[in-house]
Structure 1
Amino acid sequence: MKAWTVDTFIEAIMEVRKAQSDERLENTTARELYEAISAVVNQEISQNWSKTKESYARKKPKQIYYLSMEFLIGTLLKSNLLHHNLLDISNEAIMQLGFDPDEIYRQEHDPGLGNGGLGRLAACFLDSMASLRYPGHGYGIRYRYGLFEQRMINGYQTELPDYWLENPYPWETRKKEEAIEIAFGGEVHMHKRTNGKLEFTYTNTEKILAVPYDIPVVGYQNKVVNTLRLWSAEPTTTEDELKSEAYYYQLEHQHSFEQISGFLYPDDSSIEGKQLRLKQQYFLVAASLKNIIRDYKKTIRHSLKFLPEQVVIQINDTHPSLAIPELVRILVDEEGFGWNEAWRITTRVFAYTNHTIMSEALEKWPVDMIKKFLPRLYMIIEEINERFCQGIWFDHPELRGKIPDMAVIADNQIHMARLAIIGSFSVNGVAKLHTEILKTREMKDFCSLYPHRFNNKTNGISHRRWLVMINPRLSNLISETISPLWINRPRELTHLLRHTNEPSILEKLDQIKQQNKEELANFIHKLTGILVDEKSIFDVQIKRLHEYKRQLLNIFHVIYLYNELKDNPHLDITPRTFIFAAKAAPSYYFAKEVIKLINTVATVVNGDKSLQGKLKVVFLENYNVSLAEKIIPAADLSEQISTAGKEASGTGNMKMMMNGALTIGTLDGANIEIKNLINRSNIFIFGLKAEEVYDYYHNGEYRANEVYQNDERIHQILDQLKDGLVGNQEFKDICFHILSTNDPYFTLKDFDAYVETQQLVDQAYRNRKKWLAKSLINIAHSGKFSSDHTIQEYATGIWKIKKM
């Protein structure tokens, strides 16, 4: 490998520019310089990528394939530079060429390959697999358009197309020669072979090509490069067919199938949207399985009965769970296995990660839809269900009464979580509370049937991106204080605990946080025109907009503080800046109303000079990875306030903890594990516990209207929404919804405890030394939540794979 210096890096950039253009270097634009640096880095990557593939082919290790509908990888230039130990050299080279490094890195558009925590987790896992030298790869879909680009118009969310591929994407390599044909629909014909076995053939199917685009997943300074393979849907139509009389039919057919990789999460409020989602899911699993088996045959050259010894497939939530019947189909229909052997192989290959507690969010598909688009798969699912139900009836008579609640096919629906549990050898939750709820409540019957399948693997985050890359000042301070070894062994961050009472370290920590806040304040002003107090508490809630995440509780607290200050302008409170960022699903009316409410409150609060700058509210539009990277290093307070028992884990809590923010939160998801690590005195916990929430649901004793009648603060806030003091009666629907549905996420019930705990935050922040010590304690324990630790647990506890 080349030993780089700033001079040789500049020379390499100039060589690329000469090859790209005859123009002189001084005429280079920021975009062109970004492309040139990306090309230089790609040259470094390609050598290690080839060597990694050769190593896997030669040594034939057991490999992990991670199937996910989302991979929220964020921008890659800075990350790839960091992983090649070139980031500082690149920054210096860019400055010597007369550019601002941030301007160059901003040229890269966030890939529209994910929405939230599910996709970001998948990206962190791939990063950790490569950095820990595990042979692991991702399979996803190359969506041409991301979820949507969010713009605020009069405070309302407006969705614009997120065409992230407008410019060539430098990190992908198209592999048309490895395309795979996928079939939908048609008729299934069953024949008996001469040996007595059944044979299945298909006619009148509609075919589409899955064309792979490979993105390198670069390990941290270890020369390992794994692969994220994304499938693009393309027509099988030939040029001759397009010239034929059926031209317009072929064109329409081509367009409909290209839509499969057109949009991340098409709107499923219509039948057409549901059908497209189903096609996407089958497209992903069918292409990925054919690819995995093709590689297995080429490399291993053994019967597929040995597949579980070489391959493990992790399905990230239920979206890829059609892979289970699809593998059975391949083994039975194409490879000649009998059912029992095919099922034995399948159930030793798949592992399933559950990401939701809420039963209403568990994925289901109408039987008729599966029959129409995947007729053979429906036959296999029916067989799986029949054998499973018979197994319960004969082998577990104590569970006979539970069969309707456990069957894969029930109420004319196919229950994908049940299919995933039945067809996998491991079922894991993503935080201790989440797993416990799965085992004792939501999936209790399955746990009694398969007690050894259920296990916990608490989520994690890549500390390389979420600390080393986005917060270099803090990263450097840590390295100076405890040595840089923590970057490869993040659990060694605990050595910081020795320094929580050192004034010099705390002072430096304070200075770093202040610099980060100043940078965010400048960004906010440039983006929104809002001036925020850099000395105020930066109170941050950034995550998908959903009722259970309770952005509504947060904005109710803002309205409460506003009312208090209007009644008493001299009220002694620490100035606070509330920072929100969130996208609401396009068809999620209530969530979009909450966004409008936040923006309306921001307009009222920020425009009221009588508050003397004590409160500011900022809603930053188009939340994505890049925006999170700007906000998180500057956060003082991390809002993790979901209804207890509803958030599976959360990873935003880990990211802000790692960057020194203190958490205010319920005993939900990974908040519990954070609290257990850092001690309750270093986190702000409030609200109902999960078992209390469950009891209220079960016994029906909660009355939201009584809280409204008895708590003057709540009464005032809801009346302000209803009567138009905030927003001209625009928000009476929010008020009506909360009271008419009996406040299903206990926003009103937890309000009093939340306000009281926020007052404790206010008081704690005034003692800077103690606050900074708490901050350092949080950072010191955050290594436990590195995805390196999580992947190590997956590798040893589930996948049984070894480092290369």
Structure 2
Amino acid sequence: MPNPDTAAPRDAEVLRDTILRKLTYDLGKSRTAARDRDWFMATALAVRDRIVDRWLEELRATYETGAKQVYYLSLEFLVGRLLRDCVSNLRLDPVVKEALASLGVDFEQVRQAEPDAALGNGGLGRLAACFMESLASLSIPAFGYGIRYEHGLFRQLVRDGWQREYPEDWLTFGNPWEYARPEIAHDIGFGGSVEAVPVSEVRMRHVWHPAETLQAVAYDTPVVGWRGVHVNTLRLWSARAIDPLKLDAFNYGDHVGALADRVRQESICKVLYPSDESPAGQELRLRQEYFFASAALQDLVRRHLRVYGDLRSLPDKVAIQLNDTHPAIAIAELMRICVDLHDIPWDEAWELTRNTFSYTNHTLLPEALESWPVPLMERLLPRHMQIIYLINAHHLDSVRSTHSDDGRLLASVSLIEEGHGRRVRMGNLAFIGSHKVNGVSALHTELMKQTVFRDFHTLAPGRVVNKTNGITFRRWLHQANPGLTSLVTETIGHRVLDDADALTALVPHADDAGFRARFAAVKRENKQALAKVIRSQLDLRVDPGALFDVQIKRIHEYKRQLLNVLEAVALYDAIRAQPMGNWVPRVKIFAGKAAASYHRAKLIIKLMHDVARVVNSDPTLRGALKLAFLPNYNVSLAEIIVPAADLSEQISTAGMEASGTGNMKLALNGALTIGTLDGANVEILEQVGADNIHIFGMTTGQVEARRAAGTRGAEAIAASPQLEEVLEAIESGVFSPDEPGRYRELVASLRGDDFFMVAADFDSYWAAQRAVDARWADTASWQRAAVLNTAHMGWFSSDRTIAEYAADIWQVPVGRRASR
């Protein structure tokens, strides 16, 4: 693989010829007939060729040296567009641009022709993608395992203010980055019965006879690290029916029925997060989780036995990380493989399993800690249900030996919830089946110990550790913000490209008026680019000189987009009441998807649009306030919004956001945070200092105390005439004259228990926003704080996070220095 920093002068010519060959012989297109999509495919294939040799060499070397490998199991990998990522990490930027320019083709147009891989929803999937890139950049041998969704998460369109979901068609024209591996296919069973077969007078072997079997087929994507020093594998599984067609039924004229089983089985990889409102939806989601977890384990066990011959050495050569509870069924599956298929005694198999797995928890929300109805599990995975029962029996016996009379404790730590319908608790299974359990921010980890895993932490006090999330700076600074990257490297040197900690060298420059002006000029250019997108998508003109106030994340009540909208209405009223006031021009920018079945979140999106319609059309504001909701939020849209943001809204209810990574991306690009003391906001505060962040609202303890006291939102509303006026306007239909009662239930929830503390935190949020206005009016103060945010974000590199996982959880060496 050529070193692009010392690339030969003819390298662009060689690449140009390769692109033309790919266009002609792989795509069957001529130069004159080729469109942007064709040029993208040809360029991607040409770039991919430069990765393959190193990729295959790394795979070979890993097994020759006996290196321990990391296997990252995640239901989501939100990788985004990969062309610029690969080109940048290979340091081929000028070579590719020159090669395309010599063909009369613009690189940016080619890059834009690539669809976003629809393999994730939000932070969880994007974190997995950042981690895969950092694993490669740190030369840690790793596989990512997930599902190759044909449509992935839905494509979001907004019609009359309402979210509408449509299939995402990212695979329509093929995926040039992947290699199909039809020869790598594993049988995945569902249903059926379990037979106990005597093998001696004292021992039985359990044989599972599935009622149906399908195959998981591998598709491999190479993941190239920084400077191309290492390449890992993202292996995604696609479902394939063993019997694709019932020929007898087809010949008898039942053309649809002949394909019914195939359609049902292959639906596993059609859509990410099918709605689980129906029993059929729940079953499909469980099928998805077992499908990819089983395929991953069969795959890595096959590879391990081929190289090392003995499954008992698995913990020495393999570290499996469960990204949330979605792959937790893998613990029962590995026990099945060990006990049923390889005759390893139960106790030895359990020790092997626990030493191999570790588990990342991403939420404190009880509903997000997955549980499955026992009858569904018994019907779909009968052998696994038996194994889970036996794991639970041994586990509770152990607890009883030291806490024999504590019935509450036993019920709390059981794998089976006995309440309203018996359910299997996947979070509990993941905890006891792992040697380490980590949270994703310091606050989140401490809350885990105090709340959802309090009793487990008492029983296993050293198992819970913290690994604060991080982001890859290659994507979220170098690629997303090339203007800022150029300024930074010109100012403090190129070392910062390899060592995120070097960003601290910017600190003295925060007091340099000339540097601050150049920093602000970069931000202005990024805002102009975003303003063009807003104009193009929404037919809305916004002033790049206004404060760009950004909240981009999944729409959820705990993330409190509603609080932001209420403040917008209050600000709208205030500006109209005092039109001669010295108001800071502000553009509130929203983006995010609501789960298809999350009706309250979809109603909040509608409220955003109703408020925007009124505010944006009111000439009395004279541009002082505008609202913009950009639909179909994805990685590519984030790469435009993040560099343009002035203010980063991280306003979740304290104690409910595990970490966040959007907060890191925005701060890295020079946005000031307005936020609660929640998730990684706490660590951002520690890094950037209290003078360079705007913190408001109740703390986690105060939220818990208010809930425990049963305090209702009506009390906070009664104490805030401004909020009362806002809610009366929304409730009475001022923003929904076509349906005056549209938001009555929403407002009633705020007057009631106000579970997410929207009303309770409103006045504090309003005051913090006015402090933001005051700082914005002081240009030097704002620009200084923006520079210091960027300068102090090096600690949030995913290289640092992965290095901590490697040392503390996986026990694998790091091949390249990680920023600390």
Q: Same fold (TM over 0.5)?
A: yes
> Structure 1 CA distance, aligned partners of 2:501 and 2:660?
20
> Structure 2 CA distance, aligned partners of 1:203 and 1:244?
30
Partner of 1:766 in structure 2? 777
> Structure 2 CA distance, aligned partners of 1:363 and 1:489?
38
1:200 Cα offset (Å): 1.3
> Structure 1 CA distance, aligned partners of 2:445 and 2:281?
32
**C-alpha spacing 1:499/1:148, structure 2 compared with 1 (3 Å):** same
Partner of 2:474 in structure 1? 464
Q: What secondary structure sits across from 2:362 in the alignment? A: coil
**Aligned residue-pair number:** 802
Q: What secondary structure sits across from 2:792 in the alignment? A: helix
Alignment partner for residue 811 of structure 2, among 784, 787, 800? Answer: 800
1:18 Cα offset (Å): 3.2
**C-alpha spacing 1:298/1:711, structure 2 compared with 1 (3 Å):** same
Show CA shifts across 1:238-265 (max 9, x none): 6786678798665211111100111100
Partner of 1:661 in structure 2? 671
Partner of 2:344 in structure 1? 337
Aligned ranges 1:201-600 → 2 under 5 Å: 201-203=207-209, 205-237=211-243, 251-301=259-309, 303-397=310-404, 399-411=406-418, 412-600=422-610
1:88 Cα offset (Å): 2.7
Partner of 1:121 in structure 2? 127
Aligned ranges 1:647-796 → 2 under 5 Å: 647-700=657-710, 702-728=711-737, 729-739=740-750, 741-796=752-807
Q: What secondary structure sits across from 2:633 in the alignment? A: coil
Q: Which amino acid in the other structure matches residue 310 of structure 1?
A: K
Alignment partner for residue 137 of structure 1, among 117, 133, 143? Answer: 143
Q: Which amino acid in the other structure matches residue 518 of structure 1?
A: Q
**C-alpha spacing 1:608/1:190, structure 2 compared with 1 (3 Å):** same
Once structures 1 and 2 are overlaid, which stretch shifts more, 26-35 or 794-803?
Answer: 26-35
Once structures 1 and 2 are overlaid, which stretch shifts more, 591-600 or 481-490?
Answer: 481-490
Which runs of no fewer than 5 residues in structure 2 stay unpaired? 816-820
Q: Which amino acid in the other structure matches residue 427 of structure 1?
A: V
Q: What secondary structure sits across from 1:72 in the alignment? A: coil
1:803 Cα offset (Å): 3.3
1:79 Cα offset (Å): 0.3
> Structure 2 CA distance, aligned partners of 1:724 and 1:784?
47
Q: Which amino acid in the other structure matches residue 619 of structure 1?
A: F
1:731 Cα offset (Å): 3.4
Aligned ranges 1:618-633 → 2 under 5 Å: 618-633=628-643
Partner of 2:178 in structure 1? 172
Which runs of no fewer than 5 residues in structure 1 stay unpaired? none
> Structure 2 CA distance, aligned partners of 1:502 and 1:457?
35
> Structure 2 CA distance, aligned partners of 1:21 and 1:366?
49
1:10 Cα offset (Å): 2.2
> Structure 1 CA distance, aligned partners of 2:367 and 2:814?
39
Alignment check: 8 A CA contact 1:237 1:250 kept: no
Alignment partner for residue 60 of structure 1, among 66, 69, 86? Answer: 66
Q: What secondary structure sits across from 1:180 in the alignment? A: strand
Q: What secondary structure sits across from 1:267 in the alignment? A: coil
Alignment partner for residue 51 of structure 1, among 50, 54, 57? Answer: 57
Q: Which amino acid in the other structure matches residue 272 of structure 1?
A: A
Once structures 1 and 2 are overlaid, which stretch shifts more, 234-243 or 558-567?
Answer: 234-243
Q: What secondary structure sits across from 2:451 in the alignment? A: helix
Show CA shifts across 1:560-600 (max 9, x none): 01101111211211100100001001111110011011111
Q: Which amino acid in the other structure matches residue 354 of structure 2?
A: T
Q: Which amino acid in the other structure matches residue 599 of structure 1?
A: H
> Structure 1 CA distance, aligned partners of 2:808 and 2:720?
50
Once structures 1 and 2 are overlaid, which stretch shifts more, 71-80 or 387-396?
Answer: 387-396
Alignment check: 8 A CA contact 1:593 1:734 kept: no
> Structure 1 CA distance, aligned partners of 2:704 and 2:136?
41
1:16 Cα offset (Å): 2.4
1:182 Cα offset (Å): 0.7
> Structure 2 CA distance, aligned partners of 1:195 and 1:332?
18
> Structure 1 CA distance, aligned partners of 2:423 and 2:590?
38
**C-alpha spacing 1:751/1:76, structure 2 compared with 1 (3 Å):** same
> Structure 2 CA distance, aligned partners of 1:746 and 1:739?
8
Q: Which amino acid in the other structure matches residue 745 of structure 1?
A: F
Alignment partner for residue 641 of structure 1, among 634, 646, 651? Answer: 651
**C-alpha spacing 1:218/1:473, structure 2 compared with 1 (3 Å):** same
Alignment check: 8 A CA contact 1:392 1:400 kept: no
Alignment check: 8 A CA contact 2:156 2:632 kept: yes
Q: What secondary structure sits across from 1:533 in the alignment? A: coil
TM-score by length of 2: 0.96
Once structures 1 and 2 are overlaid, which stretch shifts more, 65-74 or 560-569?
Answer: 560-569
1:195 Cα offset (Å): 6.0
> Structure 2 CA distance, aligned partners of 1:278 and 1:23?
43
TM-score by length of 1: 0.97
Q: Percent identity?
A: 41
Show CA shifts across 1:307-329 (max 9, x none): 10011100000000000011001
Partner of 2:818 in structure 1? none
Alignment check: 8 A CA contact 2:162 2:606 kept: yes
> Structure 2 CA distance, aligned partners of 1:238 and 1:119?
31
- The RMSD of aligned alpha carbons is 1.6
Alignment partner for residue 69 of structure 1, among 75, 90, 113? Answer: 75
**C-alpha spacing 1:333/1:11, structure 2 compared with 1 (3 Å):** same
> Structure 1 CA distance, aligned partners of 2:684 and 2:518?
24
Once structures 1 and 2 are overlaid, which stretch shifts more, 732-741 or 287-296?
Answer: 732-741
Once structures 1 and 2 are overlaid, which stretch shifts more, 637-646 or 767-776?
Answer: 767-776
Once structures 1 and 2 are overlaid, which stretch shifts more, 334-343 or 219-228?
Answer: 219-228
Alignment check: 8 A CA contact 1:590 1:734 kept: no
1:21 Cα offset (Å): 6.2
Q: What secondary structure sits across from 2:339 in the alignment? A: helix
Once structures 1 and 2 are overlaid, which stretch shifts more, 684-693 or 202-211?
Answer: 202-211
Alignment check: 8 A CA contact 1:241 1:247 kept: no
> Structure 2 CA distance, aligned partners of 1:578 and 1:193?
69
Alignment check: 8 A CA contact 2:534 2:540 kept: yes
Q: What secondary structure sits across from 2:320 in the alignment? A: strand
1:297 Cα offset (Å): 0.7
**C-alpha spacing 1:65/1:667, structure 2 compared with 1 (3 Å):** same
Q: What secondary structure sits across from 1:178 in the alignment? A: strand
Alignment check: 8 A CA contact 2:712 2:751 kept: no
Q: Which amino acid in the other structure matches residue 80 of structure 2?
A: G
Show CA shifts across 1:161-197 (max 9, x none): 1121111110111101110111110010112213632
Partner of 1:100 in structure 2? 106
> Structure 2 CA distance, aligned partners of 1:763 and 1:40?
52
**C-alpha spacing 1:682/1:390, structure 2 compared with 1 (3 Å):** same
Alignment check: 8 A CA contact 1:145 1:163 kept: yes
Q: What secondary structure sits across from 1:94 in the alignment? A: helix
**C-alpha spacing 1:313/1:648, structure 2 compared with 1 (3 Å):** same
Alignment check: 8 A CA contact 2:360 2:440 kept: yes
